[in-house]
Amino acid sequence: MALFPDDNDLVFQFKNGINKEIPFTQIIKKHQEKLYWHIRRMVVNHEDANDILQNLFIKVWKGLDQFREDSQLYTWLYRIATNECISFLERQKKRLSISLDDDNSFLTEKLQAEKHFDANKLEWKLQLAIQQLPEKQKIVFCFRYYEEMPYEKMSEILQTSQGALKASYHHAVKKIENFMLNN
């Protein structure tokens, strides 16, 4: 992996530089893969994840000059990515007239339509289990399980108490265990 300047330096260069494209490109290269996988786990489909990632970076380009640096750039990016995913899923539900109860089955069908899907493989079974979770539990589980994100960082991104996040994670794990044992 290429070494990138510190996020604070990149933000400073963007805000104070004549050529904003250089630090912005470095921000993208530094964070796009982790952001992509965070988004992909939420929306399942590769094309949807790419679209959301592009929208995310457009928002970042437009808003980086106003970034107050109250939090780390990484935290800000993940907050935007999470909000973009939630907005995307809400728009999809409305567009397709899907009730909240049907949302999980819709995402499960999208997952099963993936060309490499094999329900007998453990990783696909885990993905199916994750798609059964309520939205908040899904987000918390993915942050904790895949990214090993500390609750403190999650709390900043999701603007929720650490206690609530721990409870969400605990409930998510129990539901996933139940799904894995019974399906």
Note the pLDDT of residue 111.
53
91/34 same-domain check? yes
pTM of the model: 0.75
What's the confidence (pLDDT) of residue 26? 95
The CA distance from 141 to 118, in Å, is 22
Question: 23 and 13 in contact (C-beta within 8 Å)?
Answer: yes
Residues 168 and 153 in one domain: yes
Predicted local confidence at residue 146, as pLDDT: 86
C-alpha to C-alpha distance for 23 and 164, rounded to whole angstroms = 36
Spell out, as residue ranges, where the chain has pLDDT lower than 70. Answer: 1-2, 96-122, 124
- Give residue 100's pLDDT: 45
Burial letters 89-107, b for 16+ CB under 10 A, else e: beebeeeeebeeeebbebb
What pLDDT does residue 113 have?
58
Q: How many domains does the chain have?
A: 2
Residue 175's pLDDT is what? 94
125 and 84 inside one domain: no
pLDDT tens for 92-126 read 877 766 554 455 555 556 555 555 555 556 676 78
To the nearest 10 degrees (0 to 180), the angle between helices 122-131 and 135-147 is: 150
Residue 161 sits in a domain of what CATH number? Answer: 1.10.10.10
- A 10 A CB-CB count for 49 gives 22
Q: What per-residue confidence (pLDDT) applies to 181?
A: 85
Which of residues 69, 97, 125 is at a domain's end? 97
**For the domain that residue 86 is a member of, what is the CATH number?**
1.10.1740.10
- Quote the tokens at residue 56: 């995310």
Domain range spanning residue 146?
A: 99-183
Length of the chain: 183
Same domain, 66 and 109: no
